[in-house]
Structure 1
Amino acid sequence: MPNLRSPVHRVDPRAVRWWTLRGLCSAGLVLVVLLLVAWLWEPARGWLVAPIVLVAAWTAARALVEPRWRYAVHRWETTDEAVYGLTGWVVREWRVAPLSRVQTVDAVRGPLEQLLGLATLRVTTASSSGAINIVGLDKDVAEQVAERLTLVVEQVPGDAT
């Protein structure tokens, strides 16, 4: 039985840039649209002030607070018995997946992750809670861990159901 402690590895420091860019791309896009509407449609300016202020505050939180907070929280670890993940910034999730429950192991790289040399390690299990996603890993580390876990999981008895 795995012991209940925090995983030992931090994600790659470049993950802070990735989370910052994601925050700017999502919340920042909404802010740009609101500002554009206010600039082009003069009658809307008065009632758009409050939404613009709220979205600007949310964008600042997503770009300045969330990435650093996530970096402080996110941890991961793999052993010959289990995969551990600790994630979140508002709601924290601590998950352990015994290797006997692992069905697939993938290294996934979205466009921003590719740009920054990062990857997400996705460990799919037989759990109804879904996969454990370890985000913000160096792409080479993610590939090495995926290969190692695949080899270890092949040796674990059971059918992962």
Structure 2
Amino acid sequence: MIDTLVEFYYYFLHERHYFECHEIMEDAWKENSVYTKNDIEVGLILLATSQYHLRRGNKKGARTCLKKAYQILKMYSLSEIGLHDSVLYILEENMTSEEYVPLTLPLTNEMKEAIHKQHPDFSVKHAPDARWIHFHRTRDRSDVIEARLKSMRDKHPVDDTPDKRHD
């Protein structure tokens, strides 16, 4: 999980690419043999999602996600994921935020070293890259669309469509 966390924090703090953070952590979460909506990965997914929403002006969505992230993260020993417990105070302070101000997560020294090992250019940046602000509108979703269509076909076989029945 350390490599996943390194990537998550790099994209969260250096790139401010919250959509990618969500994807990274969701993949890690789904790799678990058993998973629930209270897993620590979900807390991090919701944290990234809250920032994505807030930056785009969706204050209600941001607040909802941040509150859920806080509820999940406070159940865990955060040092295990490279965070100081003071992150909970930071999240509490930001729950009523009306405007996007990039969160600076308090990383442990060990996590900072791990990130620098993988990404020597790592630094905490505050200016968002405009490419990431509305990323959900620009990404290639062909694989997601195909998976949904396949799922629909599996549930309702194409051979059983009304125009192919021979009643």
TM band (smaller chain): under 0.3
Which one has a larger percent helix, Structure 1 or Structure 2? 2
Higher relative contact order (Cα pairs below 8 Å, separated by 6+ residues): 2
Normalised by the length of structure 1, the TM-score is 0.23
Normalised by the length of structure 2, the TM-score is 0.22
